[in-house]
Structure 1
Amino acid sequence: MVSDELKRNTQTIVYIQKQKDDLKQLLGHLDAGREKEEYIIRSTFEEMKRGRKELEFLVERINAQKRLIDELGSLNPMVVLAMEVYNKLTHQFDNLKKHVEFIEERMESLRRSLDISAQKDRELNENIDKISRKIYDLEKFQTECEANIKSLGIEHTKIEDMRLSLKNFKSRCESLLETIKMNIEFKDEMLNTQQEIINDIKKAYSKYGKDLPKGLLN
């Protein structure tokens, strides 16, 4: 009987070690993914800011041309033609301005999404802390099991209690892993939303023949 219990307890320790290694590997992947996502978001916002400055510079150039035409007045017969060109440019600029406003709305939507993502990050970090504590508990429990195996004086009731404790530990860890999986799926949705916004920005630039700012969205 003791031999059977000893064998089962040894198998339990092997299972605990595997679960502990898997949890540590998962924590490493989560940290790496979060750092990469934060870098992409920061780079995207910087490029958006530079793109807006270029649009503002274009607006200033158009306004300067209008002031020049107003100063020329009726002294030059080409003013009429210039006014027609200016009116066309103004119409194009109005359309461009609408797209800029649309981009700004999408940027605001992205900021709100990032706020939600930050909240999910905090929840994820809390779950990671819980898993870390569970890993510590598993290591402590593993040490206790090894000590009990060496003593060979463990009672049957203690073995049953330890098996039940291990089952509870396993159930809690599985629950935490499910929560982490849900957070990972939510992050994937955030990345898809970000990609849709990036595609809309590309369309807004390309529709009026405007090249993307150098390095934008790379």
Structure 2
Amino acid sequence: MSSRPDATTGRAGGRHGGPWRAVGAAVVVVLAMMGSGLIGASLKTTDSPRPPQPVAGTSDPSPNGPLAEADLDGAQQVPTGLSRATPTTINIPRIGVRAGIMALGTNPDGTVQVPPLDQALLAGWYEPGPSPGEPGNSVIVGHVDSAAIGPAVFFSLGALQPGDTVSVERADGRTATFRVDSVASYPKDAFPTEQVYGPSDRPGLRVITCGGQFDEATGDYPDNVIVFASLIP
């Protein structure tokens, strides 16, 4: 990803890059999810493995996910959410991910702290937002790859499909389990800020990394892969 600043675009998870923007309840926070943070330390080589990309037809997310699930009596069961608690581990069975989660805040310039490159197998939770299971959209980000180790924590994120599950273990001993609603790839200059960070009264999860065809010339991935998921009641 490009390292040049751009406060109007949304990005996350590749080798090099620039900032992306999140809309919170009261403020706009510029998040630096690329560059020396979410991608890697050097250019990708031609023989490096390519991360899988979302399947066509999975790129139309609903901002709030399913409205509810029907119980055995046909009544609507709406997830009310959990209290706030720090996430500790993310599990994604389909792609074999079980990874620790570190909390990410913001730097003095408004950019987000990112997982260090020497910890590219860890995911990062955007702590100023909701915790996984709370009402609202919780955001977890991670590297797609690293020049030092190759495939990183979310290398295979684009292989997820609607109906897959993502579970997040929390410090309060509870586990929030989410069902994938959709998996989408967006150009970085068309990041769906509102769908990722916009307000919601339902507990949702957004898992983000970089995607698309790595550009050898710019040292950048052109897209973001975003998983949209809703809490299972």
Q: 1 or 2, which has the higher strand percentage? A: 2
Quick check: which one's helix share is greater?
A: 1
The TM-score with structure 1 as length reference comes to 0.20
The structure number with the bigger radius of gyration is 1
TM-score, structure 2 as length reference = 0.19
